[in-house]
Each structure stands twice: as structure tokens, then as C-alpha cells.
């Protein structure tokens, strides 16, 4: 019964979204009344999709296998958390999650956006409804999650064991919140193009949504990377897989958008480019969610997807993205340009940032789609893998990182590069000194590692340099500096923390690539092996029974170089329902470094054991977490708070005239 209720709610939401979209675009000029109706429509869509989503969760939690989706993807013995996360561990269910987040964002705009101009609000909500209508329609007609199975089986087929992990509970919702959040920027861009009106108030509205989505996406990608790291069993953390590239491109574009929206908000410049980036970012988010499912990226291989479904997805993508760009082409000229500035200025630095990030997006996009196009057009199959992306992407990022510390130190409109450089001398000297010291101590031969380290330290110290400079640290009494530091606007802090985080991530990547060590060996209980000063003793081997799997467990005692001992438990599981094996690596964190231990298959009556020492690898994700913290910090800034002060918005609008 509740399943039909959910199905009905989904269909009703689709109907309301369709009517809202049509009505909104037809009557957006009618002022307050249409804005009010669309706001109520947005909240209604949210409630209805929430009902549909809850119905699915209930069926999974109660193991109602008369629901085809639950029968295919759940199992009664599964722990509760995996029953819930299993709802979106498949195509149909993840569509419902995607739409749920979409309507949640729509409802947020409707709730917090009461102070927006009525025509802008109406157009934004109409665009959101159009998206909801399109993707709810797609779900209902090609990927119905509410299909029944009669007679109902006694037991379900279980979820893919790799997905039975806390990662599935956290990663997709975060990632989708990031992807879908950009729909708000997209809707604002469409509204600006349709109405032909765009000012600093518009940018002030778009920036918090960009910041929020970007923060979620940062966390989502970092979480996904860490999940892959510990789950796939050999310690890789980034693969340049098409699926990963698809999530990385909106992040790069979103980062560019954050910076260009800043220029637009503060200086009323880069309007057309900001609108363009808003469309690009959400289009890439759509590609990220759907291109992978259309089956075209993987058609050569094993993943058989429903061809009709793929065709519908591609048509839908073409309509949404193509329609948005067509609108852009027709209407962009109507947006008035403003805000002149010299090449050397904060604006100039942010444009340079955008240039490199946009090029990186283009490079990753070409690398991801090229094999596909070549196959289709020339019938030649090639692979574009990690070595290509490391080279291209690395080459593009190096100059960006090199100039990054200058940006926040430059003044708006026209800046003095020499004075900025003077304020960075300390950071540069410190970065060079630390890099030489580390290179000498670790004795790395000719390689790119010292250059990478130098870049990482430069970015990290450069980010701090801005805070040091603004607090006049060392030039005035310490207490006074401290007061200044605390008194700095949150935007200054969040900029510094985010840039510092990038430096930290770069350092983690460089350190772990340069100094990772590995041992692959066979061990019997009682024997031990050694790696990078750690002694790993294999204590015993057990077979135990988990809730829905059988587990071969290896117990190890690790003695660190300082003499301390820790226990590690690595296991291999065989899931009862599917018979599929997984390996659960044991990971011990020492400072910022990790020891990664995996129990392999038996070989000639002994056990294959693989051990990796990964120096400073956690910095990769800590840097990302710092970036996300900076994003949240920036959102708490008074002037960015959603539904922000009218006074400032009004004077900004006046300045724009």
C-alpha cells in the first residue's frame, strides 16, 4: 500500500512540476501572485518527493521483496544502515535521491527567497520545476522504482558487497547535494537570460548557493576517494576513471564559478562569463550523473544498460544543455557589461584562475570523451588513462598554483605586483628552505618530487602570508596582532583556509607518490615481514561468521619504528547471498602517514600479504576537509547569509546603475 502511495506521490510531484514550469514561464511577469503560487508548488513538490523517498526506504527497511527494487538490491540479513543506503545503491533509487535533493533545493529557494524580486523568483522556480519535471518524468517512464514483483520472493538478491559500507550512506548524498545544488546557479542564470536583467544583487544571491554546492561536492569527492582507497584493496585513491572525471569536472567548473561570482558581486564585471559558467557547471553535473548511466561511456565493455533508457537520457541532456546554451547565445548580448580594471588587479588574478580552471575542465572533458568519439568516428579504439591525465592536468595546475598566493594580496581594479611580491618573500623563502631540507633528508634523486613539494609549501605558506600581512604580525605588539587576526572578516579567513587546504592536498599527493613503499610476500601465522622500519607479525588466522557473510580474518601485530605495537585485522569476506568476495584492508594511521595491509588469497598453503607504507597520505583528504570547512565558514559570514541584508543589496543595486 505504501509503495503505491509513494508511486502516486512521485507522479503527482511530476504533474505539479510540469504545471509550475509551464505556468511560470508563461506568467513570470505577473508579479507577486505567480511567485507565491510557484513557491507553494516548490514546497509541495518537496513534500511529495519526500513521501515517495520515504516509501522506498520503508520497503527496504521492512524487507518488502514484493518491491522489485528491494528484491534485486536488498537482503533481510543486511544491517539496518545498509538496508537504508541500499535504496540509492542502484539506478532507480539513486534517481529518486537525486530528485529529492533537487526539490529540497527548490523548496529552500522558495522559503528563503521571499525578498527576491518577484519576476526573478518566479523564473528561478519555473526553471527548477522544469528540471524536476524532466527528471521525474524520466524516472517514472523509464526507471520506475516502484515496480512490484508478484509473487514476492522470500529473500532478496542482496546489494553488491562492495557497496555494503558506510561510504554508500554518506558519499552519494553529499555528491548529489553538490551536483544538484548547482541547479540553483543554473536556474538563476536562465532567469537572468530570460529577463535580461542581471546585477550585483543577482551575484550576491548566486554566490552562497555556489559555495554551498561546491562545499558538498568537495566533501563528496574526498569521501568517494577515501572510500575507494580503503575498499578497493590496493590503496589507490584516484584513478582518472570516466566516472571520477565526471564528478571532478563540475568541481573544477564550480571552483571557477565561485571566483568569477566574486568578481561580479564586488566589481559588477564578468557578468556574461559568470552566467556562462553557471550553465556549464550544472551541465557538467548532469553529465556527471547521467552520462555514465546512459551506457555510452562503457558501451564497449561489460556494463549492459537499457538502450532506450540511454537514448532518453541523452535526449534529455541534449535538450537541457542545448536549450540553455541556445538561450545564452540569443540573450547574452542583452546583459550589460560593467566594471573596468587593469590587467594586474584582483580581477585580473581571478580571470587567470578562471582561464586555467576552464582549460583544465576542457582537458579532462576531451580526455574522457575522446576515446568514445574516436571509436564512433574513426572506428579506432584507444585508451586515455592516468598517465595522460597526470601529465595534462598537472601541467595546467602547476602555473595556477604558482600564481595562487598572489591573488588575495592584489587590490581590486589596479594592483601593485611588486608590493604583493614583497609581502610573499617570507613565504617563498620558507617554502624553498623546507623543500631543500626535506629533499636532503630523504635523499630523493632526480625527480619531480621536490618541485611538487615546493609548490605545495608555497601555496600553503602563501595562504598564511595573507593573514600574517593583514594582522601586521611582527610589526605591532603580538596582542594587537591577535586582535586584528580575530577581527578579520570571515571571507579573509575562509580564503586563507581554502588555499591552505589546496597546499596541504598537493603535499599529500606529492609525498605519497614519491615515498610510498610496498611489500608483497607470503606469510604463515607466526612469521613476520618488515617495511619502512615497521615490523609486521602475522599472529593468527581465523574464519568467523558475520551477519550476512563468512570472513577469513588475519590478525597482525605491527611494531612501529619507535617500538610501539598495534593490532591490525585484515579480512576477506564471502557474501552469502551473492557468493561475491570482498577484501577489507587493515589501515593504521601513524601521524599523517598510514600503513595499509591487505590479506590476499591463499597460495600453496600460505597467505599472500600485501603491505604498503603511505607517507602523509591523509593530507590529501585533510586538505579537502579544510577546503570544505572554509566553505562552511564563508557561508556563516553575515553578508552571505541566505536571505541576507536588504540594505547592502539595495545599495549594491544602486551602484550597478
| Cis status of the peptide bond prior to 151, with omega within 30 of 0 | yes
Min dist CB 574 to another protein, Å, is: 9
Whichever of 35 and 177 has its CB closer to another protein, that residue is: 177
Q: Are strands 534-545 and 528-531 parallel, antiparallel or unpaired?
A: antiparallel
Min dist CB 183 to another protein, Å, is: 20
Min dist CB 512 to another protein, Å, is: 15
Q: Kindly tell me the sign of the dihedral angle through the C-alpha atoms of 311, 244, 598, 622.
A: negative
Whichever of 24 and 156 has its CB closer to another protein, that residue is: 156
Whichever of 292 and 316 has its CB closer to another protein, that residue is: 292
Nearest of 195, 198, 200 to residue 654 by alpha carbon: 200
Whichever of 189 and 221 has its CB closer to another protein, that residue is: 221
Min dist CB 401 to another protein, Å, is: 15
Whichever of 234 and 433 has its CB closer to another protein, that residue is: 234
Distances 219 to 149, 285, 402, 430, 546 between C-alpha atoms, Å: 37, 15, 25, 30, 30
- Cell numbers that stand for 214 in this block: 561546491
Whichever of 374 and 576 has its CB closer to another protein, that residue is: 374
Whichever of 387 and 547 has its CB closer to another protein, that residue is: 387
Longest CA span, the chain: 80
Min dist CB 436 to another protein, Å, is: 27
Nearest of 322, 435, 307, 300 to residue 379 by alpha carbon: 300
- Cell numbers that stand for 408 in this block: 588575495
Kindly report the three-state secondary structure assignment for every residue of 137-163: HHHHHHCCCCCECCCCCCCCCCCCHHH
Whichever of 39 and 512 has its CB closer to another protein, that residue is: 512
Instruction: Give the separation between CA 503 and CA 456, rounded to whole angstroms.
Output: 4
Whichever of 231 and 588 has its CB closer to another protein, that residue is: 231
Min dist CB 229 to another protein, Å, is: 10
Min dist CB 162 to another protein, Å, is: 4
Instruction: Give the separation between CA 448 and CA 72, rounded to whole angstroms.
Output: 49
> Please, which residues bridge with residue 556 across strands?
538, 568
Nearest of 98, 88, 94, 182 to residue 134 by alpha carbon: 98
Whichever of 39 and 268 has its CB closer to another protein, that residue is: 268
Min dist CB 457 to another protein, Å, is: 26
Min dist CB 531 to another protein, Å, is: 14
CB of 55 closer than 8 Å to CB of 9: yes
Nearest of 621, 391, 589 to residue 506 by alpha carbon: 621
Min dist CB 204 to another protein, Å, is: 8
Whichever of 25 and 238 has its CB closer to another protein, that residue is: 238
Min dist CB 84 to another protein, Å, is: 14
Query: How buried is residue 407: exposed, middle or buried, by Cβ count under 10 Å (0-12/13-18/19+)?
Result: buried
CB of 408 closer than 8 Å to CB of 469: no
| 223-228 own/partner pairs: CB under 8 Å, 24+ apart | 223/167, 223/170, 223/171, 223/174, 223/175, 224/167, 224/171, 224/175, 225/620, 225/621, 225/624, 226/167, 226/621, 227/165, 227/167, 227/171
- Cell numbers that stand for 563 in this block: 617500538
Amino acid at each position: 500500500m505504501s509503495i503505491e502511495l509513494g508511486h502516486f506521490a512521485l507522479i503527482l510531484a511530476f504533474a505539479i512540476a510540469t504545471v509550475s514550469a509551464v505556468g511560470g514561464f508563461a506568467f513570470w511577469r505577473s508579479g507577486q501572485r505567480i511567485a507565491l503560487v510557484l513557491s507553494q508548488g516548490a514546497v509541495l513538490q518537496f513534500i511529495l518527493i519526500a513521501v515517495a523517498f520515504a516509501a522506498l526506504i520503508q520497503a527496504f527497511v521492512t524487507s518488502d521483496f514484493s518491491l522489485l527494487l528491494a528484491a534485486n538490491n536488498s537482503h533481510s540479513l543486511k544491517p539496518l544502515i545498509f538496508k537504508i543506503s541500499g535504496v540509492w545503491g542502484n539506478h532507480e533509487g539513486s534517481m529518486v535521491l537525486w530528485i529529492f535533493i533537487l526539490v529540497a533545493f527548490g523548496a529552500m529557494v522558495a522559503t528563503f527567497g521571499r525578498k527576491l524580486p518577484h519576476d526573478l523568483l518566479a523564473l528561478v522556480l519555473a526553471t527548477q520545476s522544469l528540471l524536476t519535471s524532466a527528471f521525474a518524468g524520466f524516472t517514472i517512464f523509464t526507471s520506475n522504482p516502484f515496480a512490484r514483483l508478484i509473487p514476492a520472493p522470500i529473500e532478496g538478491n542482496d546489494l553488491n558487497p562492495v557497496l555494503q559500507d558506510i561510504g554508500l550512506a554518506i558519499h552519494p548524498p553529499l555528491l548529489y547535494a553538490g551536483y544538484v545544488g548547482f541547479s540553483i546557479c543554473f536556474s538563476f542564470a536562465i532567469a537572468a537570460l530570460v529577463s535580461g536583467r542581471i546585477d550585483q544583487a543577482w551575484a550576491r544571491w548566486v554566490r552562497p548557493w555556489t559555495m554551498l554546492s561546491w562545499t558538498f561536492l568537495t566533501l563528496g569527492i574526498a569521501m568517494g576517494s577515501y572510500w575507494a582507497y580503503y575498499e578497493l584493496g590496493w590503496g589507490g585513491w584516484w584513478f582518472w576513471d570516466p566516472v571520477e572525471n565526471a564528478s571532478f569536472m563540475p568541481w573544477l567548473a564550480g571552483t571557477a564559478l565561485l571566483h568569477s561570482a566574486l568578481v561580479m558581486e564586488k566589481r559588477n564585471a564578468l557578468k556574461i562569463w559568470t552566467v556562462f559558467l553557471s550553465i556549464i557547471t550544472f551541465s557538467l553535473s548532469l553529465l556527471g550523473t547521467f552520462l555514465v548511466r546512459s551506457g555510452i561511456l562503457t558501451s564497449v565493455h561489460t556494463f549492459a544498460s537499457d538502450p532506450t533508457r540511454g537514448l532518453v537520457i541523452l535526449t534529455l541532456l541534449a535538450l537541457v544543455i542545448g536549450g540553455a546554451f541556445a538561450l545564452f547565445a540569443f540573450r547574452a548580448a542583452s546583459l550589460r557589461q560593467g566594471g573596468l580594471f587593469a590587467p594586474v588587479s584582483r580581477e585580473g588574478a581571478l580571470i587567470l584562475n578562471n582561464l586555467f580552471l576552464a582549460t583544465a575542465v576542457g582537458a579532462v572533458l576531451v580526455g574522457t570523451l575522446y576515446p568514445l568519439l574516436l571509436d564512433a568516428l574513426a572506428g579506432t579504439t584507444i585508451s586515455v588513462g592516468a598517465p595522460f591525465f597526470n601529465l595534462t592536468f598537472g601541467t595546467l595546475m602547476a602555473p595556477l598554483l604558482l600564481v595562487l598566493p598572489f591573488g588575495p594580496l592584489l587590490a581590486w581594479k589596479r594592483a601593485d605586483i611588486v608590493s604583493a611580491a614583497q609581502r610573499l618573500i617570507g613565504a617563498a623563502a620558507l617554502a624553498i628552505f623546507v623543500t631543500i631540507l626535506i629533499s636532503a633528508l630523504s635523499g630523493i634523486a632526480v625527480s619531480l618530487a621536490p618541485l611538487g613539494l615546493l609548490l605545495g609549501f608555497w601555496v600553503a605558506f602563501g595562504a598564511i602570508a595573507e593573514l600574517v600581512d593583514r594582522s601586521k604580525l611582527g610589526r605591532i605588539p603580538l596582542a594587537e596582532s591577535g586582535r586584528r587576526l580575530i577581527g578579520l572578516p570571515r571571507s579573509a579567513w575562509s580564503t586563507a583556509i581554502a588555499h591552505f587546504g589546496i597546499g596541504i592536498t598537493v603535499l599529500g599527493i606529492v609525498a605519497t607518490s614519491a615515498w610510498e613503499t610496498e611489500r608483497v610476500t607470503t606469510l604463515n601465522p607466526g612469521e613476520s615481514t618488515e617495511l619502512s622500519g615497521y615490523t609486521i607479525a602475522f599472529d593468527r588466522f581465523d574464519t568467523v561468521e558475520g551477519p550476512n557473510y563468512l570472513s577469513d580474518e588475519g590478525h597482525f601485530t605491527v611494531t612501529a619504528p619507535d617500538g610501539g605495537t598495534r593490532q591490525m585485522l585484515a579480512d576477506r569476506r564471502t557474501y552469502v547471498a551473492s557468493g561475491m568476495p570482498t577484501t577489507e584492508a587493515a589501515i593504521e594511521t601513524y601521524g599523517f602517514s598510514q600503513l595499509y595491509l591487505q590479506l590476499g588469497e591463499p597460495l600453496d598453503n600460505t597467505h599472500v600479504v600485501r603491505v604498503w607504507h603511505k607517507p602523509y597520505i591523509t593530507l590529501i583528504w585533510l586538505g579537502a576537509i579544510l577546503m570544505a570547512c572554509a566553505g562552511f565558514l564563508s557561508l556563516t559570514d553575515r553578508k552571505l547569509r541566505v536571505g541576507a541584508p536588504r540594505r547592502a543589496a539595495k545599495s549594491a543595486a544602486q551602484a550597478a546603475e
